[in-house]
Amino acid sequence: MPRALVTGAAGFVGSHLCEALRARGDEVIGVDCFTAYYGRVQKEANAEAIRAAGVKLVDADLRTTDVRSLLDGIDVVYHQAGQPGVRLSWSDGFDEYVQQNVVVTQRLLEAAYHLRTSRFVYASSSSVYGNQPRYPTRETDLPAPHSPYGVTKLAAEHLCALYAANWAVPAVSLRYFTVYGPRQRPDMAIHRLCEAVLGRAAFTQYGNGRQVREFTFVTDIVAGNIAAATADVAPGTCVNLSGGAEIELRDLISLVGEIAGSEVAVEVRDAMPGDSLRNGGSIDRARALLGWEPTVGLRDGIISQLAWHRERSAR
């Protein structure tokens, strides 16, 4: 039975990944330090779900805990933990992003090197691209992060690559393009739209609504992680995981309202520093190396997420 360590296990993607690994028979150890980026109640619900699936969950801060003991006997590390979001990564917030996204990754890679871990799968972000001269972006395009958050995610990618080049650590970086679905973080757009359409609060739109995002459903992201754990991929490789659902924000607002059968209340504010104008990624490399491509369309994915919001409110 393969033994997997999932960091950020009580988070959005991490909890789904834990359940999928357990469903296929892997032994799974999860680790999470329950940071205060968003409310603990949602993370505790995620934690309860993965414990019920048979995951051993460790409450530990990867900045300070003995990571070698966590990785001892582990076959695959799925590194999902990190400080997310663009808007808080400026000014005094930057140090937290460096610690959680860069220092933690280096500590895990160092342990993976010494313990000869079979595969290290790192959750990177499309934020490493920033604003590009052409779309869809390819892994060979020059990264140009547009936020401190993007800088820290790219720095961690470089750490994966240099540990691969110098010490043959079998690290693969997966560049996620705007993940959504049940359990999505409350600061993310589709979560806020679903809450708004259910009448809980107006949706705050930053800028003119012309920003373009490519959305990827969480089960597709999970499938990409599992494929990356076993595929014949050169250490240090970066791979886009993009869902093929590119849409302007203003059209996304209309789509959520149409699906819900109710208009979304919108409050418009100025654009926020660090928000890129567009993201959208080629999946040619994901198809070739991982045999991966998205299976969940945007409409079906929003239907699933909205159902989760309704079920949660009915409890």
Q: What is the pLDDT of residues 4-27, one digit of tens each?
A: 999 999 999 999 999 999 999 999
pLDDT interval class at 40 (50, 70, 90): confident
Q: Averaged over 183-206, what is the pLDDT?
A: 95
Q: Is residue 36 part of a domain?
A: yes
* 263 inside domain: no
The answer to whether residue 180 is catalytic is no
Task: Pick the catalytic residue from 78, 97, 122, 149.
Answer: 149
pLDDT tens digits along 95-132:
999 999 999 999 999 999 999 999 999 999 999 999 99
pLDDT for 37: 84
What pLDDT score was predicted for residue 200?
84
Q: Decide if 285 is inside a domain.
A: yes
Residue 86: exposure state from Cβ atoms within 10 A (0-12, 13-18, ≥19) = buried
Does residue 33 form part of some domain? yes
In a domain, 313, yes or no: no
Which stretches of the chain are assigned E, i.e. beta strand? Answer: 3-7, 27-32, 56-59, 76-79, 119-125, 171-176, 179-180, 203-206, 212-217, 237-241, 245-248, 266-269
Average pLDDT value over all residues in the chain = 96
Q: What CATH number does the domain containing 129 carry? A: 3.40.50.720
**Percent above pLDDT 70 for the chain:** 100
Domain count, the chain: 1
Residue at 163 is within a domain:
yes
Q: Is residue 132, in this structure, part of any structural domain at all?
A: yes
Task: Please say if the pLDDT value at position 314 is more than 80.
Answer: no
What is the pTM assigned to this prediction?
0.97
Is residue 82 scored above 80 in pLDDT? Answer: yes
The residue among 315 and 181 whose pLDDT is bigger is 181
135: containing domain: 3-178+217-244+280-295
Q: Residue 76 falls within a domain, yes or no?
A: yes
What pLDDT was estimated at residue 33?
95
